[in-house]
Amino acid sequence: MAKATAKNELAATFAALKAVLKKHEKRLVVLADSATGYTLVCKSIAKYNQQPLYFGGARIGKRYVSYYLFWVYASPPLLKGMSKGLAARMQGKSCFNFKRPEPELFAELDALTGACLASLAAKGLLKAGAVFDYKADA
């Protein structure tokens, strides 16, 4: 029974994190949308690989749900003021892991996601044809 409960919590966590990203899909492009993963990319191109600039995503793993938010890696000042609770969920420079829904932290992640989108928009990187050069634009 414990496995079923953990699986249900992961599914609920994924649904909540996907909803945070889904709010922004009108300004971005949905690259993947499945029962286990959701990915958004920008309309701009990353200079280093000539692919759409990755914005973020959510993915169910075996033991947790990962929430990826690339722009915090490219623009670390966006993380200033992040709560200790959210910082504790951070893996690496742009990934947050959760085992269960945490509404307070998800609200903070929602605000951070919006700040990332606003930062990209200010740099003109939400427009089709724009090119992101990490060395020059970050």
Tokens of 120: 């990209």
Chain-centre distance for alpha carbon 4: 26
Question: For residues 24 and 17, is the Cβ–Cβ distance under 8 A?
Answer: no
With respect to residue 136, please indicate whether it lies within any of the assigned structural domains.
no
With respect to residue 75, please indicate whether it lies within any of the assigned structural domains.
yes
Tokens of 103: 């509404």
Tokens of 136: 């020059």
pTM of the model as a whole:
0.91
The DSSP bridge partners found for residue 132 are 46
Q: 13, 37, 42, 15: which is closest to 26 by C-alpha?
A: 42
With respect to residue 33, please indicate whether it lies within any of the assigned structural domains.
yes
DSSP state of 78: G
With respect to residue 138, please indicate whether it lies within any of the assigned structural domains.
no
With respect to residue 135, please indicate whether it lies within any of the assigned structural domains.
no
Domain with 93, as residue range(s), is 2-129
Inter-helix orientation angle 2-22/103-122, to 10°:
30
* CATH code at position 104: 3.90.1150
| Tens-binned pLDDT, residue by residue, of the chain (138 aa) | 466 687 899 999 999 999 999 999 999 999 999 999 999 999 998 888 888 999 999 999 999 999 999 999 989 999 999 999 999 999 999 999 999 999 999 999 999 999 999 999 999 999 988 888 866 555
> How many domains, the chain?
1
